[in-house]
Amino acid sequence: MSPDVISHIAQRYVVSEDAVRQLFRAMEFTEGKLAQFSHPDLGGRGQWMPGMIMLSDNDDAQTKARIAGLCAEVSAIVQGRGTSADEQLAMPMEVGASGACVTMPAGESWWPASFGHPAASGDQHGIRYAYFPNRDRLLVQQGARITSYDTTGHRISGFAQEQSTASRICFTSDHGPLDLGELQCVPVTP
């Protein structure tokens, strides 16, 4: 993992670069499937595997969510899946009419905890989505990137992915088929 990637991840998850390196080394031995660590920036002693995190202070949900997001991203890098690796960092940000798509750390599930529970969520071929009609937002996660779309004027009711490519997804709304390219990309607001 390059120093730029380490620095970028450390800044986004508010941990030291040393903590990211320690986590990366721990996951290299398990091919990204498990990590045991002991670092103050990682909540002290702990262990992580997909869907489970245990820290010294298991009552601090915010720290657990932040460290779980960090672990999931480092795991994806170790496994070679799409993440904020060098080529992703070099990608220009997509710009919509009123804002930019954003890359942010995942929240308590994979979406920000402040969004609460989605009306619908799912995943296919490594792409996850969560729909929050009360906020008029659709969040889509590919690797470590979570992109927020404004769904004002649409009620999303279905999800599909083209068979020819794992990266093209579209939705069904009350107005018919809805391609992500038709939605405005907006910043995530708490």
DSSP structure string for 120-177: EEEEETTEEEEEEGGGTEEEEEETTEEEEEE-TT--EEEEEE-TT-TT-EEEEETTEE
| Average pLDDT of the residues in 22-42 | 92
Q: In this predicted structure, what is the pLDDT of residue 16?
A: 93
Give me the residues paired with residue 173 across strands: 156, 176
Q: How far apart are the first and last CA of the chain?
A: 31
The answer to whether the beta carbons of residues 173 and 162 sit under 8 Å apart is no
Q: In this predicted structure, what is the pLDDT of residue 11?
A: 82
The predicted-structure confidence for 92-135, as pLDDT tens digits, reads as follows 333 333 333 444 444 446 777 778 888 887 766 667 788 899 99
Q: For helices 61-78 and 3-13, give the axis angle rounded to 10 degrees.
A: 160
Q: What is the DSSP letter of 41?
A: G
Q: In this predicted structure, what is the pLDDT of residue 121?
A: 79
Q: How far apart are alpha carbons 33 and 48 in whole angstroms?
A: 8
Query: Structure tokens of 85?
Result: 């690796």
Q: What's the pLDDT band for 45 if we cut at 50, 70, 90?
A: very high
The predicted-structure confidence for 164-174, as pLDDT tens digits, reads as follows 444 567 788 88
- Residue 137 pLDDT more than 80? yes
Lowest-confidence range among 22-26, 38-42, 50-54, 183-187?
A: 50-54
Q: In this predicted structure, what is the pLDDT of residue 105?
A: 43
pTM reported for the whole predicted model:
0.48
Q: In this predicted structure, what is the pLDDT of residue 181?
A: 80
The answer to whether the beta carbons of residues 167 and 82 sit under 8 Å apart is no
Tokens 């992703």 found at: 88
The answer to whether the beta carbons of residues 40 and 18 sit under 8 Å apart is no
Q: In this predicted structure, what is the pLDDT of residue 99?
A: 35
Q: In this predicted structure, what is the pLDDT of residue 93?
A: 35
| Average pLDDT of the residues in 179-190 | 80
- Residue 70 pLDDT more than 60? yes
Scored b (16 or more CB within 10 A) or e, 54-92 reads ebeeeeeeebbbbbbbbbbbbbbbbeeebbbbeebeeee
CA 85: distance to chain centroid? 13
Higher-scoring residue by pLDDT: 159, 149: 149
- Residue 144 pLDDT more than 80? no
Lowest-confidence range among 28-42, 86-100, 159-173?
A: 86-100
